Structure 1
Amino acid sequence: MYLMCVSLNYHQLPIELRERFSFTAKEVSKADQLLNNEKSILENLIISTCNRTEVYAVVDQIHTGRYYIKRFLAGWFHYTVDEFSQYVSIMTKDDAVEHLFRVITGLDSLIKGEPQILGQIKDAFQVATAEKTTGVILNHLFRQAITFSKKMHTKYRVSELAQSSGQAGLHQIKTDFGSLNGKTLAVIGLGHIGKHTAYNASNMGFSKVFLLNRTDSKAQQLAEELQGVVEARPFTQLTSVVENVDAAIFAATVKQPLFRVQKRLQTVIVDLGVPRNVALTGTVPKYYDIDHLHLILNSNDEKRREMIQKIAAEIPQEVQDFYLWEKQLHIVPVIKGLREHSLKIEGEAYDSLLRKLPELNAHERKVISKHMKSIINQMIKRPIKEIKELSVTPGATADINFFCKIFGMDNLKVENQKNGN
């Protein structure tokens, strides 16, 4: 048995290509089932996000597993295997396991250390287990990976470091107040930055988040989407709102200031605009423009690099732990022995056939050999899947030894093992 990952990701493919190779949430269940019926595939799980589509699989042979996964994906996305092959990267054994740990911890994400991929992989794992396309190997691997990722996010908290000006502004506001309990915030301007700032602010603990935009309907639409503590206010109320909230973030694209401070204002002001949205003719004790926030972002970049290096340094031990667990599965040498035993019988039958039909040419011999191997692989696929699952049940020793006996592999019988090993 071999672990394999077939990946289409943002490293090789720009968005206009990645979007051609993505599964919808509804399609993943069916795709998991269909792939599991392919030759050579013993276990499989499909992950599809905006940055990657990946298949993790346990296969009986690397070269056949690689071929049938690519063939399945090419067929699903309406490409020939040759066309499809140029887009994929394939990892096996240790490389596949290490890749999963890097992906699930966010080290392989566009935004390094982001936690969303953990939830996406958990969802993909739940779908695959519901469809019964995973087994002993992938179940253990993904449970270990999910636990490891949670541990890394708790230990290093990379995701808490602001990575955008909007996040930095919210971080500065939280730092100034200490606690956001009972605090109110206004977000003015709901373009790309303002919208994401509103999303982040909606679940940070503010008692109320007011949204204002020069087009009132846009503020109303976003408020209805976010709900909870978020409320839209007419843009005509800008001055009143800003003067009465605890903090305000301006993120509009304008040529002239939207708001002018003409007296002492206690509101914490974060001005993300260039040109700036706020004109200061009065006094604001706590005012931060984009240059102030870049100091926070630069500091966070250095901290993030250090944390990511520390997470990456812990991955090799996780890979080693997984393979130590796998080596303790007594069934691995039994499955290897069954393959070797079956191929030996196939080889003897093939040699006998050639002696009886010496007139066969090279092409005919190749076709016959290929089909004989295919027959063998199909015949032993189901027994391998069944004994693999039985190997971790309470009666594992007796089941494995009976399996060895009926296939004539008495030399591979195992001694008594602990339940669930």
Structure 2
Amino acid sequence: MYLMCVSLNYHQLPIELREKFSFSADEIPKADKLLNAEKSILENLLISTCNRTEIYAVVDQIHTGRYYIKRFLAEWFHYTVDDFNQYVSISSKEDTVEHLFRVIVGLDSLIKGEPQILGQMKRAFQIATNQETTGVILNHLFRQAITFSKRMHTKYRVSELAQSSGQAGLHQIKSSFGSLEGKSLAVIGMGHIGKHTAYNASNMGFSKVLLLNRTDQKAEEIADALQGVVEARPFNQLDTIMAEVDAAIFAAAVKRPLYKAAGKSRQIIIDLGVPRNVIYSSESINYYDIDNLRSILTTNDVKKKQMLARIAAEVPNEVADFSVWEKQLHIVPVIRGLREHSLKIEGEAYDSLLRKLPELNAHERKVISKHMKSIINQMIKGPIKEIKELSITPGATADIDFFCKIFGMENLKVENQENGK
């Protein structure tokens, strides 16, 4: 048995092609089940996000597993393998384990360290287990990977570091107040920066988040999407609202200032506009423009790189731990023995057939050999999956002995175990 991963991701595949090889959430259960019915595939799990479509699998042979997975993708998306073969990244054995651990902690994400991939991996694992397409190997691997990712996010909290001007502004507001309980915020300007600032602010703990935009409808649409503490207000009420809120973030693209700050005591104003959106003169206002926030972003960038380096340094230990567990699967030599035993029988039957039908040409012999191997693979696929599951039950020893006995492998099993193969 071999672990492998077939990946189509943002490193090799541009967005205009990546979107063509994306599974919808509704399609994944069916896809997991169909792939599991393919030859050579013993276990499988499929994940599809905006940045990657990946299949993790346990296969009986790497080359056949690679072939059937790529064929499955081609048939599902109605392409030929040649159409996407140059973009496919394939890993196997320990490289697959390392790849998974790096992906699930966000080291391989477009935005490094983001936590969303953990949730996506958890959902993919749950779907695959519900479809019964995972087994001993993938179940252990993904449970370990999920636990590892949770531990890294708790230990390093990379996602809490502000990486944009809007995040830096919110960070400054939270740091200044200490607690956001009972605090109100206005976000002015619903362009790219303002919109994302509103999304981030919506679940930070503000009692109220008010959205304003020169086109009122845009603010209303974003507020409707976020709901909760988020409300849209007419832009012509800007002065009134500014007299009420505890903090405000301006992010409008304008040529002239939108607001002249008169001064509410301890009010915090973050001005992300260039040109600036606010004119201020009062010493009682805590005012920060984009240059004032630059030090936060620079410091956070350094911290983030350090944290990501520490997380990456912990991956090899996780890979080693999984390798130890995998080697302790005492059923592996038995499965290898069954495959060798079956192929020996197939080889003997094939040689006997050739002696009886010497008139067969090279093409006919090749076709017969291929189909005989296919029959053998299909026949032993079920028993392999069953004994793999039985190998971790309390009665594993007796079950394995019986399994070897009915397949005539007693001597082979003892020899393999004694040699530690």
Q: Give the TM-score of the pair, scaled to structure 1.
A: 0.96
Report the AA paired with residue 398 of structure 2.
Answer: A
* Greater mean deviation of Cα atoms: 171-180 or 81-90: 81-90
Cα displacement string for residues 305-339 of structure 1 (whole angstroms, at most 9, x for unaligned residues): 11111111111111111111111111111111111
Alignment deviations for residues 134-163 of structure 1 (CA, whole Å, 9 cap, x no partner)? 111100000000000000001111111111
1:14-29 matches, cutoff 5 A: 14-29=14-29
Give the drift of 1:103.
Answer: 0.4
Q: Distance in 2 between matches of 1:98 and 1:411?
A: 36
Give the Cα–Cα distance (whole angstroms) in 2 for the partners of residues 212 and 402 of structure 1: 73
CA distance in 1, matches of 2:348, 2:116: 53
1:104-129 CA distances to partner (integer Å, 9 max, x unpaired)?
00000010000000000000111111
Aligned residues of 1:265 and 1:283 also touching (Cα < 8 A):
no
What displacement does 1:356 show? Answer: 2.6
How far apart, CA to CA, are the structure 2 residues paired with 1:101 and 1:335? 27
Distance 1:267 1:212 in 2: 18
Amino acid at match of 1:299: T
Matching residue of 2:224: 224
- Give runs of aligned pairs for residues 401-420 of structure 1, distance below 5 A: 401-411=401-411, 413=413
SS of alignment partner, residue 102 of structure 1: helix
**In the TM superposition, what are the counterparts of 1:18-417 in structure 2 within 5 Å?**
18-263=18-263, 266-283=266-283, 285-411=285-411, 413=413
Mapped contact 1:333–1:412 kept (Cα < 8 A): no
Q: C-alpha offsets along residues 237-273 of structure 1, whole Å, 9 cap, x if unaligned?
A: 1112122211100111111111112457632011111
Change (3 A) 1:412 1:176: farther
Indicate the larger mover: 344-353 or 54-63. 344-353
Take 1:397 and 1:232, find their aligned partners in 2: how far apart are those partners? Answer: 67
Distance 2:271 2:243 in 1: 15
Shift of 1:352: 2.1
Normalised TM-score (structure 2): 0.96
Residue identity in the other structure for 2:305? R
Give 1:117's aligned amino acid: I
Partner secondary structure for residue 403 of structure 1: helix
**Mean CA deviation greater in 37-46 or 277-286:** 277-286
Report the count of equivalent residues.
414
Moved more, 220-229 or 66-75: 220-229
Read off the aligned partner of 1:47 and give its amino acid letter.
Answer: I
Task: Specify the code of the residue in structure 1 equivalent to 2:290.
Answer: I
| 2: CA distance, partners of 1:378 / 1:268 | 69
Taking only aligned residues, the RMSD between alpha carbons, in angstroms, comes to 1.3
Alignment identity in percent? Answer: 79
Tell me, what secondary structure is at the counterpart of 1:6? strand
- Give the secondary structure class of the aligned counterpart of 2:79: coil
SS of the residue corresponding to residue 210 of structure 1 reads strand
SS, match of residue 43 in structure 2: strand
Unaligned runs of 5+ in 2: 415-421
Gaps of 5+ in 1: 415-421
Contact 2:101 2:315 in 1 (8 A): yes
Aligned equivalents of 1:284 and 1:372: distance in 2?
A: 85
Secondary structure of 2:211's counterpart equals strand
Q: Distance in 2 between matches of 1:140 and 1:240?
A: 58
Code of the residue aligned with 2:173 in structure 1: it is I
Post-superposition CA distance 1:28-82 (Å, at most 9, x none): 0110010010011111000000000000000011011000000001111111122
Q: Which moved more, 1:169-178 or 1:81-90?
A: 81-90
User: In terms of mean alpha carbon deviation, does 342-351 or 378-387 score higher?
Assistant: 342-351
Q: 2: distance between equivalents of 1:315 and 1:4?
A: 18
Q: Give the letter for the 2:256 counterpart.
A: Q
How far residue 340 of structure 1 moved from its aligned partner, in angstroms, is 0.9
Query: Which range moved further: 23-32 or 291-300?
Result: 291-300
Alpha-carbon offset, residue 412 of structure 1: 5.1
